[in-house]
Amino acid sequence: MDIEVLGTLSVRENGASITPTAPKPRQVLALLALHADRMVPVSALTEELWGAAPPRSSRTTLQTYILQLRDLIAVALARGKGRGREGRQSAARPRTCW
């Protein structure tokens, strides 16, 4: 998975863009990318999206955003099947590009 967080968020898997177009799912994906290989608490995601006063529906809405991201990733991974080892393995690894 290739993730670019400097400038406009861009995420690609198997050559396909999986960058959400809606702002809040993009925020979730960016926060998760910045914390690759680490658990991000629901409270941190909620605060990132809504600040100190989240709506009552925040937990359900956040679950919906995560489901949408999982669906985007699943579709991209399915496209990569049959491409050899690289198409079957996917892990976000932090790397620095200068």
Identity of the amino acid at 81: K
pLDDT for 96 = 45
Q: pTM for the whole thing?
A: 0.75
Q: Where are the domains of the chain?
A: 2-86
Multiple choice CATH, 2-86, 3.30.70.2190, 1.10.10.10, 1.10.4000.10, 1.10.3720.10:
1.10.10.10
Q: Express each pLDDT in 62-96 by its tens digit.
A: 999 999 999 988 888 887 775 544 433 445 555 44
pLDDT at 18 over 60: yes
Nearest to 1 by CA among 96, 97, 98, 88: 88
Q: What is the reported pLDDT for 44? A: 95
pLDDT value for 65: 95
- Mean pLDDT of the residues in the chain: 82
Higher pLDDT, 51 or 8: 51
CB-CB contact of 76 with 20 (8 Å) = no
